[in-house]
Structure 1
Amino acid sequence: MSRRLVLLGAPGAGKGTQAVRVAEALGIPAISTGDLFRANIKGGTPLGLKVQEYTSRGALVPDSVTNDMVRDRLAQPDAADGFLLDGYPRNVAQVSELDAILADAGVALDLAVELEADPEVVVPRLLKRAEIEGREDDTEDVIRHRLDVYAQETAPIAAVYAGRGLLTQVDAIGEVDDVTTRLLASIDTAIG
């Protein structure tokens, strides 16, 4: 059975950690746009050079470049029977683009999974991570701003998928193993 999944969640909800664990358990690739950017830059690909043009001057990578990168990655043989997207789509326009990418391949998304995390739990978690990783710019104000940006730009994606009956929500607070167990059970319940 195919598993074509999108993982949603605010900064600090544990998307990166859970994406790898869930993808491994399901035998599908975890595809992170951040990883795609880095791999294309390192590989000197035409898309990587475009990404570097923007990131080197501190600009956001335009949707068109991100969309092309995701399209290219989803066309790889290891994603033929499933994937877990982490960090894409980031806005409603990218939802439409993902729909088109999948339609061109003759497949559809199976499920969007949203990791829910209370900001009052996430903020201290991100402050601790910033301290451990030496991210001096990750102050409480910056973190709260990132959470606000997520709520404005990315959270509406959940509403789109809910309207299609493709959204399941999972509590992301707790031990990592417990969250993984909840995620896998939720996916199993939603799509079998």
Structure 2
Amino acid sequence: MRLIFLGPPGAGKGTQAKLLTEKHGIPQLSTGDMLRAAVAAQTEVGKRAKAVMDAGQLVSDAIVNEIVSDRIDSPDCAKGFILDGYPRTVPQAQALDEMLAGKGIGLDAVIELKVDEAALVRRMETRVAETIAAGGSVRSDDNPEAFRRRLAEYREKTAPLSNYYATTGKLKTVDGMADVDTVTKEIGRILS
């Protein structure tokens, strides 16, 4: 099972990916985690990524694509994987398609969690308030202004992936505003 989850920040992609990894024994591949692991392991691509990051620059698509390719070749990905946060752009999606074709594998589905952005902002505000009330700490970017910026960046850069994957027939949409169990059941139905 090889999947991509699409949806804006706060849509529930991480929650659903975790449930699927537990059920099917396949890893959830987060771009940030893969990048940090490659740097820590001092792989050739990890060393190049570290040099770019140390210079205060963004890691190029070519480096990110290579890190994803290396990670997909890992033994724990033999039964499949869930990509979360990658691809972020249509050029990355095209590179992923070429990479997977070169490995003789393909995606089983791209699942987009459709959500109401205004409701997501309200959810985030409630979650932050509850965390603070419980004496917890919140991330510096867990505030309405930062969250709205992340949503705008998603709309600009990542939302076009919906159209890209719709043309391939791989895109399946799920109402991400439903409760967790309902979303899980709908994803299960899509994958069966």
Cα distance in 2 for partners of 1:54, 1:86 equals 23
Alignment of 1:142-161 (within 5 A): 142-161=146-165
Aligned equivalent of 2:71: 73
Cα distance in 1 for partners of 2:71, 2:13 equals 19
Moved more, 17-26 or 66-75: 17-26
Alignment of 1:24-173 (within 5 A): 24-56=22-54, 58-129=56-127, 132=131, 133-173=137-177
The normalised TM-score by structure 2 is 0.86
The normalised TM-score by structure 1 is 0.86
1:175 paired with 2:173, answer: no
Aligned equivalent of 2:134: none
Contact 1:30/1:83 (CA < 8 Å) preserved in 2? yes
Corresponding pairs, count = 186
Cα distance in 1 for partners of 2:42, 2:160 equals 34
Moved more, 104-113 or 40-49: 40-49
Unaligned residue ranges in structure 1 (runs of 5+): none
Unaligned residue ranges in structure 2 (runs of 5+): 132-136
Specify the SS of the correspondent of 2:112.
strand
- Identity of paired residues, percent? 42
Moved more, 144-153 or 170-179: 170-179
